[in-house]
Chains A and B, each alone.
Chain A
């Protein structure tokens, strides 16, 4: 975020000097990293750290969804199901087999990916609202299974007493700050992996499919394969988020994984800016912190949240990050145009002088 503001307020003569910009980016990144790492020490209250941890969980969820939706263009409401499957895999393995978190967390991600394949494969040819509805149906079915398959999931009683993760060299996590650092590492890893995916051939194939499926197919991209892959990859991060959620809250029940959770993840991606790396991160933090911050006004909280969502989409239609970076780009372009027109004016003057000279001779 820091570098965006620098780009906006940058004076014109900086335009083409990349070096100061690069330094500003590095300094900004170092400051941001410092603030993120030191956050639990800055916010003394455990309630504030709790909000940060929740934000981190949502960063995983929304970044995963962004891969499916923002890059591959597959608008999905299935994310609560993947989130829940990850949570249940970890919850069941940890309570019944006592698995360490570094074993059941990847397994939770893989289980969610498999669920992503199951829903992604048959719905790959659907688009727009049809896909939204199919994924919505999937979430509802998974939720009903959580609630009714009592022999395994214990139904609406839920699973209690999920042990805290036992991190190698640290021991079982016993403070909120430690949970925060774990989710911080997971979030940074997630955003980094997604960045690697997006910048790879796979990412470009996904973007090509999103922008024009027919053209992508004509260019030789296996559309079915990449669409299903986008679902499975997005689901993986949701599964990891679910695994962490189960370990952190220590109790899971079907009520935590309803369609509303999917809608929130979707709102975070769109509010932040879909199809950008930082957008979903900003959206996740903003939409987690905002309702909590509004707790002070009590009963009006969710109503105000709805109002803000409405106002946000009306005035920042491309999301917070999308709209801000668009403004920055417009600003930079405008200054570039101004410079170019300046040069052009000088050139025109020179030419006209030359012309006048040649005519006078």
Chain B
């Protein structure tokens, strides 16, 4: 029972981590919360569905195309909803994000309908068993894919010139502009990376559960929780928070009740806020006077 719930927790934790990473990267680098982030996640699922099911492309290729297209949509979001409001108070980007979210969610609703649709993959039939545990390949592959994407993201941020510019923006976006960082390009790239991560999560979720236009908001709310658990804008924190929330939820579902699954995670969220508002791994900025 425990090992089984742990595995379930790691799988959903991987998904949460991917969604939350995209969310936290935008906040960390640009200081904006993308309220339409959950919709990028459903687009990832739907484009994978489109290319693999309707157009009969190979599953892995479909995921890659879906990620590229969704990254493009993320860049459009940046251009339309966030760039014009860079100087505005944060509540303004909350509203523009909300507008984008409604637009995208209902766009998906019109294109693909309200029904939950499964993505059939060749992997769901393959079952892998070890030490008494058994899971299908489409579920198991979430964990390695998440790890690979985390490594790619870390490489991008820590080892490339663009990553250096991103870290400079995270530190002080105005000063980064003064020393010659092209903030418009960095902002676009950040949104593209963020959207790509969300799309990957959507593509991985499709075969396990289903894709549905209404699940974007729920995903966004969860990634709020994850990001906060780990510390806002903190990449290692989002990874720890994602897996922690996944395991916590599956343990609650296994040992207490599935009804209170979501409430328990939010209870933890509020507890973190009250006792350690900077998140488990974060440092709190002292208020500037």
B129 interface residue (CB < 8 Å to A): no
- In whole angstroms, what is the CA distance A212 to B260 when docked? 40
Within residues 237 to 289 of chain B, which ones have a CB less than 8 A from any CB in chain A?
A: 259-260, 262-263, 266-267, 269-270, 273-274, 277, 287, 289
Check A310 against B92 for contact (C-beta < 8 Å). no
Check B110 against A299 for contact (C-beta < 8 Å). yes
B210 interface residue (CB < 8 Å to A): no
Interface-facing stretch out of A159-167, A179-187, A262-270: A262-270
Interface-facing stretch out of B63-71, B81-89, B161-169: B81-89
Which listed residue (B81, B221, B232) contacts A140, Cβ 8 A? B221
Residues in B whose Cβ lies below 8 Å from that of A220:
none
Which listed residue (A123, A267, A271) contacts B274, Cβ 8 A? A123
Check A274 against B91 for contact (C-beta < 8 Å). yes
Tell me the dominant secondary structure on chain A's binding face: helix
Check A137 against B232 for contact (C-beta < 8 Å). no
Interface string of A302-325 (1 = CB under 8 A from B): 110111111111100100000000
B121 interface residue (CB < 8 Å to A): no
Smallest CB–CB gap between A314 and chain B, Å? Answer: 5
- In whole angstroms, what is the CA distance A109 to B199 when docked? 43
Smallest CB–CB gap between A208 and chain B, Å? Answer: 15
Which listed residue (A123, A130, A136, A313) contacts B85, Cβ 8 A? A313
Residue of A nearest to B232 (CB): A129
Check B100 against A266 for contact (C-beta < 8 Å). no
- In whole angstroms, what is the CA distance A305 to B90 when docked? 21
Interface centre among B102, B103, B277 (most CB of A within 10 A): B102
- In whole angstroms, what is the CA distance A309 to B99 when docked? 5
Check B259 against A130 for contact (C-beta < 8 Å). no
Smallest CB–CB gap between B94 and chain A, Å? Answer: 7
A259 interface residue (CB < 8 Å to B): yes
Smallest CB–CB gap between A268 and chain B, Å? Answer: 10
A172 interface residue (CB < 8 Å to B): no
Check B270 against A306 for contact (C-beta < 8 Å). no
Interface-facing stretch out of A19-27, A43-51, A144-152: A144-152
Within residues 166 to 221 of chain A, which ones have a CB less than 8 A from any CB in chain B?
A: 213-214
Check B95 against A126 for contact (C-beta < 8 Å). no
Check B84 against A134 for contact (C-beta < 8 Å). no
Given known contacts A270-B91, A270-B95, A300-B106, A130 and B221 CB-to-CB distance under 8 angstroms: no
Residue of A nearest to B261 (CB): A144
- In whole angstroms, what is the CA distance A302 to B105 when docked? 9
Residues in A whose Cβ lies below 8 Å from that of B217:
259-260
Check B263 against A144 for contact (C-beta < 8 Å). yes
Residue of A nearest to B259 (CB): A148
B96 interface residue (CB < 8 Å to A): yes
Which listed residue (B103, B266, B277) contacts A137, Cβ 8 A? B266
- In whole angstroms, what is the CA distance A306 to B107 when docked? 10
Within residues 271 to 289 of chain A, which ones have a CB less than 8 A from any CB in chain B?
A: 271, 274
B33 interface residue (CB < 8 Å to A): yes
Residues in A whose Cβ lies below 8 Å from that of B125:
none
**Contact size class for B?**
35 or more
Check B81 against A134 for contact (C-beta < 8 Å). no
Residues in A whose Cβ lies below 8 Å from that of B273:
122-123, 126, 130, 133-134, 137
Smallest CB–CB gap between A131 and chain B, Å? Answer: 9
Check A136 against B98 for contact (C-beta < 8 Å). no
Check B224 against A136 for contact (C-beta < 8 Å). yes
Check A303 against B90 for contact (C-beta < 8 Å). no
Given known contacts A122-B274, A137-B266, A144 and B85 CB-to-CB distance under 8 angstroms: no
Smallest CB–CB gap between A122 and chain B, Å? Answer: 5
A128 interface residue (CB < 8 Å to B): yes
Given known contacts A136-B224, A138-B270, A310-B103, A317 and B260 CB-to-CB distance under 8 angstroms: no
A2 interface residue (CB < 8 Å to B): no
A241 interface residue (CB < 8 Å to B): no
Residues in A whose Cβ lies below 8 Å from that of B262:
140, 144
Check B270 against A305 for contact (C-beta < 8 Å). no
Check B85 against A314 for contact (C-beta < 8 Å). yes
A157 interface residue (CB < 8 Å to B): no
Check B84 against A314 for contact (C-beta < 8 Å). yes
Check A308 against B221 for contact (C-beta < 8 Å). no
Given known contacts A303-B107, A303-B110, A317 and B100 CB-to-CB distance under 8 angstroms: no
Check A309 against B98 for contact (C-beta < 8 Å). yes
- In whole angstroms, what is the CA distance A310 to B107 when docked? 15
Smallest CB–CB gap between B275 and chain A, Å? Answer: 9
Residues in A whose Cβ lies below 8 Å from that of B224:
133, 136
Residues in B whose Cβ lies below 8 Å from that of A147:
259
Q: Please give the residue numbers on chain B whose beta carbons come within 8 Å of chain A beta carbons, in ascending order.
A: 27, 33, 80-81, 84-85, 88, 90-92, 94-96, 98-107, 109-110, 217, 221, 224-225, 228, 232, 259-260, 262-263, 266-267, 269-270, 273-274, 277, 287, 289
Q: Please give the residue numbers on chain A whose beta carbons come within 8 Å of chain B beta carbons, in ascending order.
A: 75, 122-123, 125-126, 128-130, 132-134, 136-138, 140-141, 144-145, 147-148, 213-214, 259-260, 263, 266-267, 270-271, 274, 299-303, 305-314, 317
User: What are 19 inter-chain pairs, A to B, with CB distance below 8 A?
Assistant: A123-B273, A126-B273, A132-B33, A133-B228, A134-B273, A134-B274, A137-B225, A137-B267, A140-B221, A260-B217, A267-B95, A271-B95, A303-B107, A303-B110, A306-B98, A310-B81, A313-B95, A314-B96, A317-B88
